Structure 1
């Protein structure tokens, strides 16, 4: 009986991933909803229904596959970022900074008003700043959208994601420095945070320089670029985890540098082809499966309030600053709406703070609830924004 139970456990995750893929395809064809929303909902529902056989964080192979998938999406996301465009139109960068700052301030004040501690209010505010690069790039690729709103969603997401990573780390360092007797420890941690960030960016930059050079040397850029980049991302993610670097900063840096080395992935290889499609299912199923139903129920009130304030802040800022950046206020509003998705990997960042005793607080539960709602509804809102902006092929033809 024990052997039979073990066999069921080994088969459980492949069956969940296959079921999520099938349901995602059916719902997308019938209701035209984003596949990744269905993947997330399937993963959350099945893991909470069968917790005995499905324990995502204990499955090291699944964690590795999810991290590789996340790395591939971050690379492709960064590959779409045009730094030169930000310099030509600095109001886009200003919008990103103001939007992230306004989100941080709003969520921080609301969390304090609700009775949260200063530490949790700061952490919630930092995590709320970021949109989900993985969800945004998947929806844009799935809809084959292009235009001003699509590009602004991409660039604003890049800005607030990088800011969220740095601010989150700095808050942990600041809090350690406030602890009596830990000044030397806090100083060492501050230096460590800076070194890790610099090393992560350096690693991605080195990969971004070396791989295009190798592809040029081989003389088969058009045929091998996508496969070469896929192998490089896998190696970079593995290196980041083995050396405790930030895979987010590393893969984003890799994509940015590779773009400016003039190597093209090619239209037929969006999402890294079949490999990317398969890993995308694993990623979004795994991400939502890390959330517990009891935690969602416990934090749904504060989570819903933070969700409204977070999205409202982004929409207000992008709408008001839209004319200065060269678009209408309507497109500015849609750009803010497209920033709705939030990544469940933000919750995984809080694993390093377990020593602070926050893993069972009401604020933690609120973050779980907000993340689940936006893992499912966020991609739908992004798709709606692109549709209303008439940047999908179907709308462009009308």
Structure 2
């Protein structure tokens, strides 16, 4: 009788574990309080508080794996909203007027990928792992960039370029990894025939669904006042329906919202005004997202892959900064601005985690070697990257130190 009662207590929703209702609720409260403390006392982005809670969970061995159903759904929804926002802020006409900015994007993403590939091979990483690792390292987290810029009310040339580069890098990484995955499946005589329809449908279906979602949201934005909270709920509902369709049809849950935002932003000459209620509605999901990513690694991962990951973090950061400096003058940046932009390209967060999880799921033979390196890189980058972005933008005068919450 006593054993049965104890079993009920430790598995009940109020048991003190991260995967129970009480445990998850207390974690959310702790993350929210720590994030608010960081913002009000230190003027640091709230993300640092969220990531710190995640890091404590990771050190305690209570981190997430990414296979938890409910948590993965929350992560996908939060990331979809943030990627949609990143796409909706990407002005392709600006790239047409300043082709050197596009050249900077291509150079820094490509140079980072090549540098990580060479460094990984030199450190003994197998080519089957070094390839996807290099592609994942190309991207810069739009989630971190958008939240820091939004919270700190940053504005200016470096800020706009940073948001543009992070959105473009994510697009490059998602497309390149999808192509690599498709190439591996189609190159195997045992899988290519069955994989061909799936690969083709997934690739083109993601573009079509993204364009359809962008068109629908454009229609809603023209007909309804987005300052109205109910209209924003409608927009959110459309994004969620598209995410469900993407998961059901096995399309890219990263590519669809990003393309939808780009489609919406660039179909009209009018600037897209981001609805203020989006941040309110998605705030809880964003908190869950960054706590989850901050807890995804483990001490064992640092032991097995920490040295390789630390080297790759440095190589990636230096390569991106070098590319920005190389094209600073032609693209219209002063050296100090180039330094701030190069430093701000450090973040590698939820997008990289989800990319690694999806690639590991599609290629189980690669996953056990790929995931530890990616998770160790996140362990080194996740906590300091919001601070690096904030201090870099502040150094060039694009964040007012006196900005209030």
Count residues with an aligned counterpart.
Answer: 388
Q: CA deviation at 1:221?
A: 4.1
Distance 1:76 1:216 in 2: 18
How far does the alpha carbon of each residue in 1:302-345 deviate from its partner, in whole angstroms, 9 at most, with x for none?
Answer: 11100000000000000110111111122122112111100244
Residue 366 in 1 paired to residue 377 in 2?
Answer: no
1:220 and 1:159, CA in 2 relative to 1: closer, same or farther beyond 3 A?
closer
The structure with the largest helix share of the pair is 1
Residue 103 of structure 1 corresponds to 112
Residue 162 of structure 2 corresponds to 153
1:132 and 1:177, CA in 2 relative to 1: closer, same or farther beyond 3 A?
same
Residue 346 of structure 1 corresponds to 352
Is the Cα–Cα contact under 8 Å of residues 319 and 331 in structure 1 kept in the other structure? no
Unmatched runs of 5 consecutive residues or more in structure 1: none
Residue 128 of structure 1 corresponds to 137
Q: Give the aligned CA root-mean-square deviation in angstroms.
A: 2.4
Distance 2:225 2:351 in 1: 36
Is the Cα–Cα contact under 8 Å of residues 89 and 272 in structure 2 kept in the other structure? no
Unmatched runs of 5 consecutive residues or more in structure 2: 1-5
Residue 139 of structure 1 corresponds to 148
Residue 313 in 1 paired to residue 324 in 2?
Answer: no
Between stretches 349-358 and 249-258, larger displacement belongs to 349-358
How far does the alpha carbon of each residue in 1:88-122 deviate from its partner, in whole angstroms, 9 at most, with x for none?
Answer: 11111111111111011100101111111111111
Q: CA deviation at 1:279?
A: 1.4
1:385 and 1:191, CA in 2 relative to 1: closer, same or farther beyond 3 A?
farther
Residue 11 of structure 1 corresponds to 22
1:396 and 1:344, CA in 2 relative to 1: closer, same or farther beyond 3 A?
closer
Distance 1:305 1:150 in 2: 27
Alignment partner of 1:197 out of 199, 203, 212 = 203
How far does the alpha carbon of each residue in 1:142-165 deviate from its partner, in whole angstroms, 9 at most, with x for none?
Answer: 110011100111111112111111
Residue 34 of structure 1 corresponds to 45
Residue 327 of structure 1 corresponds to 333
Residue 3 of structure 2 corresponds to none
Q: CA deviation at 1:227?
A: 2.8
Runs of 4+, deviation exceeding 6 Å: none
Residue 167 in 1 paired to residue 176 in 2?
Answer: yes
Distance 1:172 1:279 in 2: 29
